[in-house]
């Protein structure tokens, strides 16, 4: 008798969980109220990167003179940029639908509500009660709101809306200096929008190694993006077509005019309408509480991805989805939540995996730091004039890789090697003795590993 699995939510957590459950022989239903692919494909990762790619091309052309590319009358047709974004999103969504179908997953388009621990009410064009041995909740998250006067003005937008602006705005105030805020700042800042980031905390990019966050902040400031830290927004008021944002930097109050205000203060689990209360699923700080196997307090109901709040990243959700499906169907699942790479698609890119230097310090263990500036790497020089660096945190005694932090071109692709190194408990010795192809930016990874013991080849020895 096949096990029956219902997955609620078709984002990168849910659709991956559904496919894995089907691969393992279960009879799987997936309920999605909108388009499959979830926030990631439709309102997050993919559309932002599609827009950022267009912007990157534009910047490359604009700054191409030094590379011998001279363009005249360079302009952006925002409509085409948006259309290309839509095309890519549509293609990927169709791809997900095709994969679900190919794996025999039955997709129900509509809302879902848990009735009891083994039944879910589906409400689409018609109502239906579906039963299951296991339910995997992958209901995702939505942009968090702020409670200040004027937050409900039409010019106050969230990230979803910011992706679909009909025109490039003249000016934009972004509330929140996290990953989402920084990426939108990089996006619009590069195509002529006057961007101001307002961050309440003393630093931008919480959770990112402070040295890299500071370096990225400087890069963006050099691009003309204004970043105000230790600053809070008191009020937003309407002024003509735009708004006026009243800010307060430690008693120093000012007013910023902007066409739009983007609220990017994080995301919250979207768990209000799925019927958690029907089976009394435990919720903590607005997130579904789970154990390390992603089981809720009702053991046959799992919660993965943004809705459990463990790690609000698409790839973490996918990995959790696989782990939950495997666990439910009696397989041994491996999910290593401490080795989740994080990527920021600014220019230059930032990517990190493992411990930051602050975390290493806090853990109390002895560690060493190896840093290699990309100015010492030929390919990085070719690509972006050598901006950025790689920083490796390694255990002092054995040299095991604890964390890798990259600022620079292709950082988001380079981080994979670092994640694998940590996953396999590699030490700096293995990074060093792995031959890296020349000329690539990846050579800098081996150099940073060498730098842990102050042995970098393409950088002068550091005075200790």
Any idea which residues carry the catalytic annotation? 438
* 8 A C-beta contact, residue 390 and residue 372: yes
Residue nearer to other proteins on the CB measure, 424 or 435 = 424
Between CA 11 and CA 261 the distance in angstroms is: 27
How is 30-98 classified by DSSP, letter by letter? Answer: EEESS-TTHHHHHHSHHHHHHHHHHHHHHHHHHTGGGGT---SS----HHHHHHHHHHHHHHHHHHHHH
Q: Which position has the token pair 């029907």?
A: 278
Angle at 70 between CA 378 and CA 386, to 5 degrees: 20
Give the span between the Cα atoms of 115 and 279, in whole angstroms: 7
Could you write out the DSSP letters of every residue in 222-286? Answer: HTT-EEE-S-EEEEEEEETTEEEEEEEETTEEEEEEESEEEE-S-EEE--TTS-GGGTT--EETT
Minimum distance from residue 18 beta carbon to other proteins (Å): 27
Q: How many Å from the N-terminal Cα to the C-terminal Cα in the chain?
A: 67
Tell me how far, at minimum, the Cβ of 433 lies from other proteins, in Å.
Answer: 10
Question: Cβ of residue 339: shortest distance to other proteins, in angstroms?
Answer: 13
Least Cβ distance, residue 392 to other proteins (angstroms): 15
Nearer to other proteins, 288 or 402 (CB): 402
Query: Which CB, 331 or 438, lies closer to other proteins?
Result: 331
Identify the CA nearest to 446 among candidates 461, 455, 187.
Answer: 455
Q: Which candidate, 210, 208, 187, 211, places its Cα nearest to that of 197?
A: 187
In the complex, the smallest distance separating the C-beta of residue 334 from other proteins, rounded to whole angstroms, is 10
E strand or H helix at 212: helix 210-222
Binding interface with other proteins (CB under 8 A):
395, 398, 400, 424-427, 429-430
At closest approach, how far in Å is the CB of 397 from other proteins? 8
- Decide whether 284 or 425 has the Cβ nearer to other proteins: 425
Q: Which is nearer to other proteins, 17 or 421 (CB)?
A: 421
Rounded to the nearest whole angstrom, what is the least distance from the CB of residue 456 to other proteins in the complex?
A: 20
Q: How many CB atoms lie within 10 A of CB 20?
A: 26
* Listed residue (360, 342, 314) closest to 411, CA to CA: 342
CA torsion angle 399 401 405 408 (round to 10): 80
Please identify, using beta-carbon distances, which residue of 101 and 331 lies nearer to other proteins: 331
Indicate the residue among 109 and 423 with the shorter CB distance to other proteins. Answer: 423
């Amino acid at each position: 008798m096949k096990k029956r699995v219902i997955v609620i939510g078709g984002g990168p957590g849910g659709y991956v969980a559904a496919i894995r459950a089907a691969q393992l022989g279960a009879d799987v239903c997936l309920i999605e109220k909108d388009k499959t692919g979830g926030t990631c494909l439709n309102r997050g990762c993919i559309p932002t990167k599609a827009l950022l790619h267009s912007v990157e091309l534009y910047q490359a052309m604009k700054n191409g003179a030094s590379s011998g590319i001279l363009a005249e009358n360079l302009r952006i047709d925002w409509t085409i940029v948006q259309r290309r974004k839509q095309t890519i999103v549509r293609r990927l969504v169709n791809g997900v639908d095709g994969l679900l179908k190919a794996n025999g997953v039955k997709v129900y388009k509509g809302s879902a509500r848990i009735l009891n621990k083994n039944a879910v009410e589906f409400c689409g064009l018609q109502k239906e009660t579906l039963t299951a041995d296991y339910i995997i909740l992958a209901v995702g998250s939505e942009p968090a709101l702020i409670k200040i006067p004027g937050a409900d003005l039409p010019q106050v937008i969230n990230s979803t809306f910011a992706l679909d602006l009909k025109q490039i705005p003249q000016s934009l105030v972004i509330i929140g200096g996290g990953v989402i805020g920084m990426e939108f700042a990089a996006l619009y800042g590069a195509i002529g929008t006057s961007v101001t980031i307002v961050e309440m905390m003393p630093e931008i990019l919480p959770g990112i190694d402070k040295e890299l966050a500071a370096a990225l902040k400087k890069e963006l400031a050099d691009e003309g993006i204004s970043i105000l830290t230790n600053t809070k927004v008191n009020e937003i008021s309407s002024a003509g077509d735009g708004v006026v944002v009243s800010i307060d930097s430690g008693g120093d109050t000012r007013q910023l005019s902007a066409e739009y205000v983007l609220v990017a203060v994080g995301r919250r689990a979207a768990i209000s309408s799925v019927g958690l209360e029907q089976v009394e699923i435990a919720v903590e700080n607005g997130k579904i509480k789970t154990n390390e196997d992603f089981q809720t307090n009702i053991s046959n109901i799992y919660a993965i991805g943004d809705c459990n709040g463990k790690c609000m990243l698409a790839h973490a959700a996918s990995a959790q989805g696989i782990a939950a499906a495997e666990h439910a169907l009696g397989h041994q699942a491996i999910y290593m939540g401490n080795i989740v790479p994080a990527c920021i698609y600014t220019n230059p890119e930032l990517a990190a995996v493992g411990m930051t230097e602050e975390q290493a310090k806090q853990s109390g263990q002895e560690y060493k730091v190896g840093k290699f500036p990309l100015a010492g790497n030929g390919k990085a020089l070719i690509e972006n004039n050598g901006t950025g660096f790689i920083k490796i945190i390694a255990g002092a005694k054995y040299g095991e890789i604890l964390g890798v932090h990259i600022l620079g071109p292709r950082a988001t692709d380079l981080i994979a090697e670092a994640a694998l190194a940590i996953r396999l408990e590699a030490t700096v010795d293995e990074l060093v003795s792995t031959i890296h192809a020349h000329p690539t930016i990846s050579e800098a990874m081996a150099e940073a590993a060498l730098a842990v013991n102050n042995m970098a080849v393409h950088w002068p020895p550091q005075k200790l």
